């Protein structure tokens, strides 16, 4: 008898875990353990999403005649502790698991020694070994080159060996904002009313994790494969066409805009990236969505998503300890409450607490940008992102946070820090119009904290950043600032930090 372990983010009946599965003898093992919700202070919606999706998957397997040994939320248990108990009870000849999405879990499981068989995760289009090979001998691991290789390897948006349309990248066309008139009427995304099973989990989470951040009132995430597929079709039919041009734009009270909202279904493996890419490509070939939108979307899945996983497994376990800029500030408390006078952060964190969601630019250029400029310890920033987003799983969250947004890895993910003043936020949103600060001001009463902290950041890291080639222009602008103004900025930055410490 084999014990086949299915983790909360491995809900795929076609996964390698089921290869050769013997319905007569083998047993699937699944467990809900509170330590997984407690090791970071997890958003209630993220806990509900995982537990509800696991329970629906359990019932689906049982419906297929598969024996599932399932532990509902246990008090103090850890995954490995619960698994050891199951091994003692069931005495399997082998424990089979697909590569976990977190180094910590994989490391714990490896303590089972010879009993354990780890299988490759076929969900991804690039295996850990493929990425290692890609990385071999390269000085830099830029996403763009990896992405081009993937396009060629899988023939995605390719024509006679060349990229469809002649270019690999349409980023220039994908930086639109909504202008003064705003986004107008937006196509509301499909929301899934919680089933009885999901409602049961919601009640349990309110009871067991009532003090955790976030709300459940608006929970409408897909928790089954069927719902994941519906969410994908809804996006392709109604929002993909405008995804490209508005992917970086933000607007007050509009959390979804033209985004797909499918990262959670993908990361739980309810959806397969191949079917997502195929659906987007088919929309282009049918003439339902422009090339820039489709290429921009596919780049996120075939490019970024696969690339960050490669980075994670290439550099873990040491990656999580990296802190290239020596940032040591504590994460300001308002990240957990949304109570701040800064309108952009109030909006981005507010919707995060309401839904467990913010889109990429809100994560990178609002919450991420503030903590980068403020100098928050990147590990604390990482723990916040891992806790508050429904789509957070460490392999994807950590490189995005610590690497891309905090430059904690010193330039593995990003060729330079994503540092900008409040003017970037002003250009891409309407937030500043509702704010007491002025993004053009770096000192004085109305100074925008982003703008002040941006210049302070450049001054603090001038020497180090002068070695980062693409920072030249930003550092040249710093040189033009008069010494008296610089002193006023430093004093203002200290005042801002004191306010949030
Ligand atoms: C600081 C920070 C933390 C992040 N943490 C996570 C995380 O925990 N989990 C996660 O899935 N994504 C994370 N991302 C990437 C991205 O922000 C989310 O994938 C996206 O916002 C999810 O919303 P969506 O499904 O509507 O995506 P869309 O905007 O519609 O994009 C389509 C899909 O592309 C993929 N994708 C887009 N950007 C990335 C990226 N940079 N890395 C990997 N996949 C990407 C996702 O699967 C996403 O569903 C993070 C980004 C930043 C800057
Ligand atoms: S002025 Fe500054 S703090 Fe206020 S919304 Fe704009 S960027 Fe954010």
Ligand sitting nearest the alpha carbon of 372 = 1
For residues 460 and 351, what is the distance between their CA atoms, to the nearest angstrom? 32
User: Which residue spans of the chain are classified as CATH 1.10.579.10?
Assistant: 334-500
Judge whether 432 and 426 are in contact, CB under 8 Å.
yes
Give the position of tokens 């701040």: 340
Q: Which residues contact 461 (CB under 8 A, 6 or more apart)?
A: 325
Identify the residues whose C-beta falls under 6 Å from ligand 1.
259-263, 266-267, 297, 300-301, 304-305, 308, 359-360, 363-364, 368, 385, 389, 391-392, 396-397, 400-401, 404-405
Residues 302/304/305/309 CA torsion (nearest 10 deg): 120
CA atoms within a 13 Å half-sphere pointing along the CA-CB vector of 28: 30
Q: Is 469's pLDDT higher than 90? A: no
CATH class for domain 334-500?
A: mainly alpha
At 44-71, the pLDDT tens digits run 999 999 999 999 999 999 999 999 999 9
Scanning 40-112, the segments in alpha helix (DSSP H) are 44-63, 79-90, 103-110
**What is residue 264's predicted lDDT score, i.e. its pLDDT?**
98
Give the model's confidence band at 456: pLDDT under 50 very low, under 70 low, under 90 confident, else very high: very high
For ligand 2, is residue 342 a contact (CB within 6 Å)? Answer: yes
Task: Look at residue 71 and give its three-state secondary structure.
Answer: strand
**What is residue 75's predicted lDDT score, i.e. its pLDDT?**
64
Q: How far is the CA of 61 from the centre of ligand 1 (A)?
A: 29
For residues 472 and 481, what is the distance between their CA atoms, to the nearest angstrom? 15
Nearest-CA residue for atom 8 of ligand 2: 344
Nearest-CA residue for atom 5 of ligand 2: 432
Query: How does strand 158-159 pair with strand 162-163?
Result: antiparallel
Scanning 239-367, the segments in alpha helix (DSSP H) are 240-243, 263-267, 273-285, 291-298, 306-315, 334-337, 343-355, 360-362
Fold of 128-189+239-315: 1.25.40
**What is residue 230's predicted lDDT score, i.e. its pLDDT?**
98
Nearest to 331 by CA among 492, 456, 500, 451: 500
For ligand 2, is residue 367 a contact (CB within 6 Å)? Answer: no
At 61-114, the pLDDT tens digits run 999 999 999 999 976 688 999 999 999 999 999 999 999 999 999 999 999 999
Q: Which residues contact 390 (CB under 8 A, 6 or more apart)?
A: 43, 45, 46, 49, 221, 264, 355, 356, 357
Task: Look at residue 6 and give its three-state secondary structure.
Answer: coil
At 130-177, the pLDDT tens digits run 999 999 999 999 999 999 999 999 999 999 999 999 999 998 888 899
CA gyration radius, the chain: 23
Q: What is the mean pLDDT of residues 240-263?
A: 97
Query: Model-level pTM?
Result: 0.97
Give the model's confidence band at 468: pLDDT under 50 very low, under 70 low, under 90 confident, else very high: confident
User: Which residue spans of the chain are classified as CATH 3.40.50.620?
Assistant: 2-119
Determine the CATH number of domain 2-119: 3.40.50.620
Q: What is the mean pLDDT of residues 470-492?
A: 95
User: Which residue spans of the chain are classified as CATH 1.25.40.80?
Assistant: 128-189+239-315
Q: How far is the CA of 423 from the centre of ligand 2 (A)?
A: 8
**What is residue 74's predicted lDDT score, i.e. its pLDDT?**
72
Task: Look at residue 447 and give its three-state secondary structure.
Answer: strand
The ligand 2 atom nearest the CA atom of 343: 5
């Amino acid at each position: 008898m084999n014990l086949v372990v299915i983790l909360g983010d491995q809900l795929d009946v076609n996964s390698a875990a089921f290869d050769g599965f013997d319905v007569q003898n083998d047993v699937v093992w699944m467990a809900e353990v509170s330590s997984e919700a407690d090791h970071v202070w997890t958003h209630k919606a993220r806990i509900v999403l995982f537990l509800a999706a696991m329970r629906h998957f359990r019932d689906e397997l049982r419906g297929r005649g598969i024996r599932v040994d399932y532990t509902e939320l246990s008090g103090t248990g850890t995954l490995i502790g619960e698994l050891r108990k199951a091994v003692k009870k069931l005495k399997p000849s082998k424990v089979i698991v697909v590569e976990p999405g977190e180094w910590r879990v994989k490391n714990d499981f490896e303590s089972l020694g010879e009993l354990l068989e780890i299988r490759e995760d076929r969900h991804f289009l690039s295996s850990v070994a493929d990425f290692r090979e890609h990385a071999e001998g390269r000085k830099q691991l830029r996403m763009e080159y990896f992405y081009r290789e993937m396009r060629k390897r899988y023939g995605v948006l390719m024509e006679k060996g060349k990229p469809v349309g002649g270019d690999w990248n349409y980023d220039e066309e994908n930086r639109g904002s909504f202008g003064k008139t705003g986004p107008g009427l937006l196509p509301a995304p499909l929301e899934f009313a919680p089933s009885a099973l999901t409602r049961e989990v919601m009640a349990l989470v309110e009871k067991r994790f009532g003090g955790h951040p976030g709300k459940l009132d608006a929970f409408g995430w897909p928790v089954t494969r069927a719902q994941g597929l519906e969410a994908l079709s809804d996006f392709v039919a109604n929002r993909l066409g405008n995804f490209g041009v508005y992917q970086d734009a933000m607007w007050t009270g509009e959390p979804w805009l033209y985004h797909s909202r499918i990262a959670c279904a993908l990361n739980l493996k309810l959806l397969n990236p191949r079917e997502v890419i195929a659906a987007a490509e088919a929309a282009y070939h049918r003439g339902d969505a422009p090339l820039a939108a489709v290429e921009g979307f596919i780049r996120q899945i075939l490019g970024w998503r696969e690339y960050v996983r490669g980075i994670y497994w290439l550099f873990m376990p040491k990656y999580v300890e990296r802190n290239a800029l020596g940032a040591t500030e504590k994460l300001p408390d308002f990240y957990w409450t949304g109570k701040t006078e800064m309108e952009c952060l109030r909006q981005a964190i507010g919707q995060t607490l309401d839904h467990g969601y913010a889109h990429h630019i809100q994560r990178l250029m609002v919450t991420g940008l503030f903590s980068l400029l403020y100098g928050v310890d990147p590990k604390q920033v990482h723990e916040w992102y891992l806790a508050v987003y429904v789509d957070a799983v460490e392999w994807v969250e950590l490189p995005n946070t610590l690497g891309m947004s905090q430059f904690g890895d010193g330039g593995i993910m990003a060729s330079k820090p994503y540092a900008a003043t409040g003017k970037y936020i002003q250009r891409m949103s309407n937030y500043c119009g509702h704010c007491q600060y002025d993004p053009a001001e770096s000192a004085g009463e109305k100074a925008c904290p982003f703008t002040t902290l941006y210049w302070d950041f450049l001054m603090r890291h001038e020497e180090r950043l002068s070695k980062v080639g693409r920072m030249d222009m930003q550092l040249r602008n710093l040189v033009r600032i008069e010494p008296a103004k610089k002193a006023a900025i430093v004093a203002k930055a200290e005042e801002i930090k004191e306010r949030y410490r």
